[in-house]
């Protein structure tokens, strides 16, 4: 598989471009083709999201790229290789594929699932072990804890992470994802989306993702492909461009009432100022930590592990009840990543009934906090830009209720 490695100051690209050239899919026994005639170019290292109403041909198009569905006509190129005539099994070993709920083999351990394609490719067990450890770390799962687990003993979000690790096992330049986050709860979904963006920045793969959710498409996609029936391209552009200039009445209606919300997905946690946080390790002296926090005007601290990952955020009063900072994991800790949208941050706060969230770097180490008032101020500003007529009543109401 052709995969060029180019580095800019911005990002690394190890992915390959994808080109669909006059691709048609006519299912047997159907009057109309599912995909009429599709031309599409996807740049190496981009994430492209396919959206559109049910039955418009998103999944058919995705599955033609790895030839799980054979095109009736046309050519598909990955890098500069025409893969239309290649051995389909070989092709699929070089394209990662992730489906809803991870699609793991239920009777195989996590390690065995991840090693599936490397074993077919004849890797030795040491190389497979090292790769498995690296990938579990990449998707944020502890190898010692999870390597020997069966999928049924893991949450949906954890299974989905293993699904991504398995798809990346043989380091394919292209990753195809079919509604990968459709079956998880909204907060897990936000975390998985952020993880995918972090992985993408680290590895620079080319990722194609099918989703029903326009907001998810605008969050994940460098470009969004909006299809209508028969795989007809209504618009293929960056999210901001689609929102600013919908190409057709169909796009306008499809984006429709979600447009204001989608505008909010264009603002990321990394674009707004964060508050600094005081961190402490389990076993640190409580008095010393409290003194450090008070000197910086903080009323609470974040307990972190050796990797800087947050475990809990106790108040100084709680810290003061013990001599040493104790080990306690708060499983409802609201955490967002720099790539999270402000909408995600708000949802996360509401789900945890908290007035703020912790912000982490791409790998999960705590870097600061974001309060609800900061997020609301930015959202208010954006709403007044998007709906100038409503500004007065909206901000007056909010200011009034806040005071
Ligand atoms: N195996 C098949 N045999 C016949 N027709 C099919 C087959 N698979 C899909 N179709 C038809 O092709 C069209 C496109 O289906 P496809 O699954 O690609 O759409 P989609 O946009 O992914 O839909 P959804 O969002 O509902 O998953 C639909 O009209 C569908 O009924």
> What tens digit of pLDDT does each residue of 296-346 get?
988 899 999 888 889 999 999 999 999 999 888 887 788 999 889 888 888
What is the model's pLDDT at position 4? Answer: 46
Please give the distance, rounded to the nearest whole angstrom, from the Cα atom of residue 178 to the centre of ligand 1.
Answer: 13
Virtual torsion, Cα 81, 86, 89, 94, nearest 10 deg: -10
- CATH fold of 271-376 reads CBS-domain (3.10.580)
Residue 315, φ and ψ in degrees, nearest 5: -75, 165
pTM, 2 dp: 0.80
What count of residues does the chain have?
A: 403
Please give the distance, rounded to the nearest whole angstrom, from the Cα atom of residue 230 to the centre of ligand 1.
Answer: 10
3-state secondary structure of 171: coil
Please count the other Cβ atoms lying within 10 Å of the Cβ belonging to residue 70: 10
The CATH number of 6-94+172-266 is: 3.40.50.300
What is the model's pLDDT at position 10? Answer: 62
Verify whether ligand 1 is closer than 6 Å to residue 30 (CB atom): yes
Q: What is the mean pLDDT of residues 369-387?
A: 77
Under the banding of pLDDT at 50, 70 and 90, the label for residue 257 is low
Give 67's DSSP letter.
T
User: pLDDT per residue over 79-121, tens digit each?
Assistant: 999 999 899 988 988 899 998 877 899 999 999 999 999 999 9
Angle among Cα 3, 5, 6 to the nearest 5 degrees reads 135
CA-based nearest residue to 3, from 12, 54, 11: 12
Q: How many CA atoms lie within 13 A of 49 on its CB side?
A: 25
Whether the predicted pLDDT of 360 surpasses 70: yes
Please give the distance, rounded to the nearest whole angstrom, from the Cα atom of residue 99 to the centre of ligand 1.
Answer: 16
Verify whether ligand 1 is closer than 6 Å to residue 348 (CB atom): no
CA-based nearest residue to 314, from 295, 333, 287, 294: 333
Region of 84 (left: φ > 0; alpha: ψ -120 to 50; beta: rest) is alpha
ipTM of the complex: 0.96
Verify whether ligand 1 is closer than 6 Å to residue 25 (CB atom): no
What is the C-alpha separation between 42 and 206, in angstroms, rounded? 8
Verify whether ligand 1 is closer than 6 Å to residue 5 (CB atom): no
What is the model's pLDDT at position 263? Answer: 67
Verify whether ligand 1 is closer than 6 Å to residue 55 (CB atom): yes
Please give the distance, rounded to the nearest whole angstrom, from the Cα atom of residue 326 to the centre of ligand 1.
Answer: 54
- Which tokens belong to 345? 């941050």
Helix 391-402 and helix 372-386, axial crossing angle in degrees, nearest 10 = 160
Q: Residue ranges of the domains in the chain? A: 6-94+172-266, 271-376
Q: Do domains 6-94+172-266 and 271-376 have the same CATH topology?
A: no
Please give the distance, rounded to the nearest whole angstrom, from the Cα atom of residue 54 to the centre of ligand 1.
Answer: 8
Beta carbons of 370 and 272 less than 8 angstroms apart: yes
Please count the other Cβ atoms lying within 10 Å of the Cβ belonging to residue 56: 21
Atom of ligand 1 nearest to the CA of 63: 18
What is the model's pLDDT at position 402? Answer: 34
């Amino acid at each position: 598989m052709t995969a060029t490695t180019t580095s800019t100051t911005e990002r690394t690209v190890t992915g390959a471009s994808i080109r669909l050239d006059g691709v048609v899919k006519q299912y047997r026994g159907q009057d109309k083709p599912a995909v009429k005639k599709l031309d599409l170019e996807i740049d190496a290292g981009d994430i492209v999201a396919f959206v559109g109403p049910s039955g418009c041909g998103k999944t058919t198009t995705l599955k033609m790229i790895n030839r799980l569905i054979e095109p009736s006509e046309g050519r598909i190129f990955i890098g500069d290789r025409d893969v239309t005539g290649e051995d389909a099994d070989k092709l699929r070993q070089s394209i990662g594929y992730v489906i809803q709920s991870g699609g793991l083999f239920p009777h195989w351990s996590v390690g065995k699932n991840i090693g599936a394609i490397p074993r077919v490719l004849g890797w030795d067990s040491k190389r497979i072990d090292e790769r498995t450890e690296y990938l579990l770390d990449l998707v944020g799962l502890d190898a010692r804890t999870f390597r020997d687990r069966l999928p049924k003993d893991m949450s949906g979000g954890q299974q989905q992470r293993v699904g991504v690790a398995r798809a990346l096992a043989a380091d394919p330049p292209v990753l195809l994802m079919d509604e990968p986050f459709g079956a998880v709860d909204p907060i897990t979904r936000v975390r998985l989306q952020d993880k995918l963006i972090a992985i993408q920045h680290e590895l620079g793969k080319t990722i194609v993702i099918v989703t029903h959710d326009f907001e998810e498409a605008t969050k994940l996609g460098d470009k969004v492909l909006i299809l209508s029936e028969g795989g007809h391209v209504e618009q293929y552009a960056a999210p901001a461009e689609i929102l600013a200039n919908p190409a057709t009445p169909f796009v306008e209606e499809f984006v429709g009432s979600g447009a204001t919300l989608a505008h909010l997905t264009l603002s990321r946690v990394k674009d707004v100022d964060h508050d600094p946080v005081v961190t402490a390790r389990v076993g640190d002296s409580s008095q010393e930590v409290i003194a450090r926090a008070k000197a910086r005007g903080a009323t609470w601290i974040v307990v972190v592990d050796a990797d800087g990952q947050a475990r809990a955020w106790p108040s100084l009063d709680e810290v003061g009840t013990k001599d040493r900072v104790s080990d306690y994991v708060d499983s409802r800790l609201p955490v967002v990543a720099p790539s999270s949208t402000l909408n995600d941050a708000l949802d996360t706060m509401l789900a945890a009934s908290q007035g703020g969230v912790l912000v982490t770097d791409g790998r999960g180490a705590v870097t600061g906090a974001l309060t609800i008032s900061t997020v609301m101020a930015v959202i208010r500003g954006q709403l007044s830009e998007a709906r100038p007529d409503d500004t007065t009543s909206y901000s007056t109401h909010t200011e009034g209720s806040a005071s």
